[in-house]
Amino acid sequence: MKIAFIGLGNMGAPMALNLLKNGHTLNVFDLNQAAVQTLVDAGASASASPKAAATGVECVVTMLPAAAHVKRVLTADDGVLAGIARGATIVDSSTIDPASAQAFAKLAAERGNPFVDAPVSGGTGGAAAGTLTFMVGANAGVYEQVKPMLAAMGKNIVHCGDTGMGQVAKICNNLLLGITMAGVAEAMSLGVALGIDPKVLAGIVNTSTGRCWSSDTYNPYPGIVETAPASRGYTGGFGTDLMLKDLGLAADAAKSAKQPVYLGALAQQLYQTMSKHGDGGLDFSSVIKLYHDVGAK
């Protein structure tokens, strides 16, 4: 397939590389030229704008920080909608609010373009390995059309319902992730403060009822999981500010449904404190810094 890929950050770059590896032809665009160059070195063509990238392709994939970026990339004068052919599909894998996804779908439909919300889970490791979970919001026909392309980047491609339902699944997942990460950070820090070896504690948790992805795959304590951001100074991975954004999305969606999110609200305050202290760019597992001086272990 001829595909445009826009947004080549921590997630987008490895996802785009997997599309190339699977034989797709790629036009790429990002504001960051170094990110573009990495993809060009791997065989993609650089485009001067989202409009240029979208011209002549069958599908456009966006992987951008937030809804405002998606809106700009789609609707600016040099945006995707100005260049895309009628009938070509737009797949947005960014995590945004369900209402914005539905509004983008309406806008795209007016121009004859199906729009799919397909946010992902699995982190940068899953993006590199091509094992992401895609949570897809689209009608059944469009879902079947995009499924093979998504399978080049992910292992679990799940149809969650109509447009917006992929984002509903994603923000509920990340609400839980934000809470479990803070919980693991709290428990690991308490254990260390009480004198237990962190590796022993993590080993117990990971074979006991406290086990979760935040404890066994992405443990926030340095040196427990060698591949986790905690073991490389909390660089790369999933930024604290992105987690803060997702908890805000969950809080807003909860408000619209008059549904309480007690723990989510508390987790939001924890990540907000991190961000205020200048740690918004660090991986979200650095929330452990609120409990424990990870530099002086």
Nearest approach, Cβ of residue 223 and ligand NAD (Å): 21
Q: Report the residue number whose CB is nearest to ligand NAD.
A: 9
Find the catalytic residue in 51, 170, 245, 289. Answer: 170
Residues forming the site for ligand NAD (CB under 6 A): 6-12, 29-32, 35, 63-65, 69, 72-73, 94-95, 120-121, 123-124, 237-238, 242, 246
Nearest approach, Cβ of residue 102 and ligand NAD (Å): 17
Collapsed DSSP state (helix, strand, coil) of residue 91:
strand
Instruction: Pick the closer one to ligand NAD by CB: 34 or 296.
Output: 34
Nearest approach, Cβ of residue 100 and ligand NAD (Å): 12
**Count of positions (residues) in the chain:** 297
Collapsed DSSP state (helix, strand, coil) of residue 136:
strand
Nearest approach, Cβ of residue 203 and ligand NAD (Å): 25
Instruction: Pick the closer one to ligand NAD by CB: 159 or 170.
Output: 170
For residue 105, give the amino acid letter. Answer: A
Place of tokens 């999933």: 238
CB atoms within 10 A of CB 147: 16
| Annotation says 170 is catalytic | yes
Cα dihedral sign, 276-236-158-65: positive
Instruction: Pick the closer one to ligand NAD by CB: 175 or 192.
Output: 175
Residue 60 dihedral angles phi and psi, to the nearest 5°: -115, 130
* 282: alpha, beta or left? (left if phi > 0; alpha if psi -120 to 50): beta
In the Cβ-directed half-sphere of 225, how many Cα atoms lie within 13 Å? 19
Burial class (CB in 10 A: 0-12, 13-18, 19+), 68: exposed
Instruction: Pick the closer one to ligand NAD by CB: 198 or 239.
Output: 239
State the catalytic residues: 170
